[in-house]
C-alpha cells in the first residue's frame, strides 16, 4: 500500500495540519497483527488523505513498515511462549524503554492527540503517563477483553468464565487460563491487577471506542466509566469485497476463515459437519452436505487436520493460510460463512468481509456476533458449543434473499463513514 507521503527525510511537519500519534504494538498487517493491524494501516492512509500528519509508534519487529519515525520504535519482544526472562516479565508490566522512546518522539513530533490500539505486553501502560504529562488526549479502541481479564478470551478450560470480575484475578491463576501455564497466568494476573488497581487506563484515556455494543456494555458492567465508552462499529472495504469481484464459480461449499485456535469453536464445527455427513437431524433426512472449507492459520491447525482424519470426514478441506486473493477465491465458492466462536467475539473482520461479499453468516450466540446476524436475513444463530444446534443452523443457511447481507454491510460497515466518525471524535479532543 502507498505510504501517502509519509517517507520524508526530515522531521519537519506542517504546523497547520492536526497531528495524530497512532500507537499499536504492530505497525503492519502481517501474521499476528491480524485485523487490528489491517485497521491501523487503513486508518493511517485515510486520515493522511483527510489532512492529518500521522505519527506511528510501535515495536521494531521484522515486519514493521518503513516510517520516518521508526527510529523511535521499541525493541521487539516475543511473548508467544511462557518462557520469558526476568527482564521480559518486568517489561510486560512496565516497559521503561517504551516510555523513554515515546518521550523522545513526543518532544520531536509534538502530536495533538493519540489513538491507541493494542499496547499491553509489548508497549505496556507505561506510555500512558507520558502522554498525560504532555497533555495529549487519548482515544483507545477496545479490540478485546484484556483490560478486564488476565485471559484475553475470558475462557477457563474452554468455557466462557467471568470469575475474575470484581478484581478476583487469582481465579485465572487457579485455572491456568493463560497458555495453560500457572506462571504465565500469574504474570498476566499481576499485570491486570496492576493496571486496574491503579486505574491507569480509566484515569488517562479520554474515550474508549468499542466496535460492538456488547463490549461497550461489558466494560461498563466491569467498572469502566460508561461516559467514556463509545460504540464505533468496525468497517470493511466494500469495494474490495464486492460480490461482483468474487470469481463466478459454482457455489458448492461454505467457509470458515480466520484464526485456527481453540476459542474459535472448530471442534464443534467439525462435529456438526459429521452430523451432516450422517444425513439426519431429529430423525429427519437432511439435504446432502455442502463441502466445508477451512482457511487460516494458528496453533490448532495441526489438531484440526487430525480431527478431520479421526472423524473420517469426506466433505472438509483444510486449506491452511491463504493470501487475500486466495480468500476471495474461496468466498466465491461459498454459499455462506460460519463463525462458531465459543468466546465473546467483538466485531470480527471475517463477519464483515462475509457480509460485504453478500455471504450470510452462521454464527454462535455469544458476544458481538448477534449484533451482525439477523436470523433469516443476514444469517443464522446457533448455541455456542452445541454441534446439534450448529448443524440445524447450517441447514437453514444459504437460501436468504440475495443482496440482504450486502445491504447490511453498506448501511453499517462503510469505511468512509467510519473514518468520518473517527475523525470527528479525534478533532473533538484537539486543543482549542
User: What pLDDT band is residue 89 in, cutting at 50, 70 and 90?
Assistant: low
**Mean pLDDT, residues 286-311 taken together:** 95
Say how far apart CA 153 and CA 170 lie, in whole Å: 16
What superfamily in CATH does domain 19-143+206-235+414-427 come from?
Answer: Glycogen Phosphorylase B; (3.40.50.2000)
Length of the chain, in residues: 432
Say whether pLDDT at 84 is over 70.
no
Say whether pLDDT at 2 is over 50.
no
Is-above-0.85 flag for pTM? yes
Say whether pLDDT at 82 is over 60.
no
Q: Model confidence over 371-383: pLDDT tens digits? A: 999 999 999 999 9
Domains 19-143+206-235+414-427 and 243-412 in one fold: yes
- Beginning with the edge strand found earlier in the chain, give each strand of the sheet holding 379-382 in spatial order: 316-320, 291-295, 253-257, 334-339, 360-364, 379-382
Q: Specify the CATH class of 243-412 in words.
A: alpha beta
Backbone angles phi, psi at 399, to 5 degrees: -125, 25
pLDDT of residue 269: 98
Say how far apart CA 94 and CA 97 lie, in whole Å: 9
Q: Model confidence over 392-403: pLDDT tens digits? A: 999 999 888 889
Give the residue from 98, 127, 116, 142 showing the smallest Cα distance to 20: 116
For the chain, the structural domain boundaries read 19-143+206-235+414-427, 243-412
Say how far apart CA 59 and CA 30 lie, in whole Å: 13
Cα distances (angstroms) measured from residue 315 to each of 66, 253, 254, 293, 394 = 44, 9, 11, 9, 14
**Mean pLDDT, residues 129-135 taken together:** 97
Beta bridge partners of 229: 208
Neighbours of 154 (CB within 10 A): 25
Amino acid at each position: 500500500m502507498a505510504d501517502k507521503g509519509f517517507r520524508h527525510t526530515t522531521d519537519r511537519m506542517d504546523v497547520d495540519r492536526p497531528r495524530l500519534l497512532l500507537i499499536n504494538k504492530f505497525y503492519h498487517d502481517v501474521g499476528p497483527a491480524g485485523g487490528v493491524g489491517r485497521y491501523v494501516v487503513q486508518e493511517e492512509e485515510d486520515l493522511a488523505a483527510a489532512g492529518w500528519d500521522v505519527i506511528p509508534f510501535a515495536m521494531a519487529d521484522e515486519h514493521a513498515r518503513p516510517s520516518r519515525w521508526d527510529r523511535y520504535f521499541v525493541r521487539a519482544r516475543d511473548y508467544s511462549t511462557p518462557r520469558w526472562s526476568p527482564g521480559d516479565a518486568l517489561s510486560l508490566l512496565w516497559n521503561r524503554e517504551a516510555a523513554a522512546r515515546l518521550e523522545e518522539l513526543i518532544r520531536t513530533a509534538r502530536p495533538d492527540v493519540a489513538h491507541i490500539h493494542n499496547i499491553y505486553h509489548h508497549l505496556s501502560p507505561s506510555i500512558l503517563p507520558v502522554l498525560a504529562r504532555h497533555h495529549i488526549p487519548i482515544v483507545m479502541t477496545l479490540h478485546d477483553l484484556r483490560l478486564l481479564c488476565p485471559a484475553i478470551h475470558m475462557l477457563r478450560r474452554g468455557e466462557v468464565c467471568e470469575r475474575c470480575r470484581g478484581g478476583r484475578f487469582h481465579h485465572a491463576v487457579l485455572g491456568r487460563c493463560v497458555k495453560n501455564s500457572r506462571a504465565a497466568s500469574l504474570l498476566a494476573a499481576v499485570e491486570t491487577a496492576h493496571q486496574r488497581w491503579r486505574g491507569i487506563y480509566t484515569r488517562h484515556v479520554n474515550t474508549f471506542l468499542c466496535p460492538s455494543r456488547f463490549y461497550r456494555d461489558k466494560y461498563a458492567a466491569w467498572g469502566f466509566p460508561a461516559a467514556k465508552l463509545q460504540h464505533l462499529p468496525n468497517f470493511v472495504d466494500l469495494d474490495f469485497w464486492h460480490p461482483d469481484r468474487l470469481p463466478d464459480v459454482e457455489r458448492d461449499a461454505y467457509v470458515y476463515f480466520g484464526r485456527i485456535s481453540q476459542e474459535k469453536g472448530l471442534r464443534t464445527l467439525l462435529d456438526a459437519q459429521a452430523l451432516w455427513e450422517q444425513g439426519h437431524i431429529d430423525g429427519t433426512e437432511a439435504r446432502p452436505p455442502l463441502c466445508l472449507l477451512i482457511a487460516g492459520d494458528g496453533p490448532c491447525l495441526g489438531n484440526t487436520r487430525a480431527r478431520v482424519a479421526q472423524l473420517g470426514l469426506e466433505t472438509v478441506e483444510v486449506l491452511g493460510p491463504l493470501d487475500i486473493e486466495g480468500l476471495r477465491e474461496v468466498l466465491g465458492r461459498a454459499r455462506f460463512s460460519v463463525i462458531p466462536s465459543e468466546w465473546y467475539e467483538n466485531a470480527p473482520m471475517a463477519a464483515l468481509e462475509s457480509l460485504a461479499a453478500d455471504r450470510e453468516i452462521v454464527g454462535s450466540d455469544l458476544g458481538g456476533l448477534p449484533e451482525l446476524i439477523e436470523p433469516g436475513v443476514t444469517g443464522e444463530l446457533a448455541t455456542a458449543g452445541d454441534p446439534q444446534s450448529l448443524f440445524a443452523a447450517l441447514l437453514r443457511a444459504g437460501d436468504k434473499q440475495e443482496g440482504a447481507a450486502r445491504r447490511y454491510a453498506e448501511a453499517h460497515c462503510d469505511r468512509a463513514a467510519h473514518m468520518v466518525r473517527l475523525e470527528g471524535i479525534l478533532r473533538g479532543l484537539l486543543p482549542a
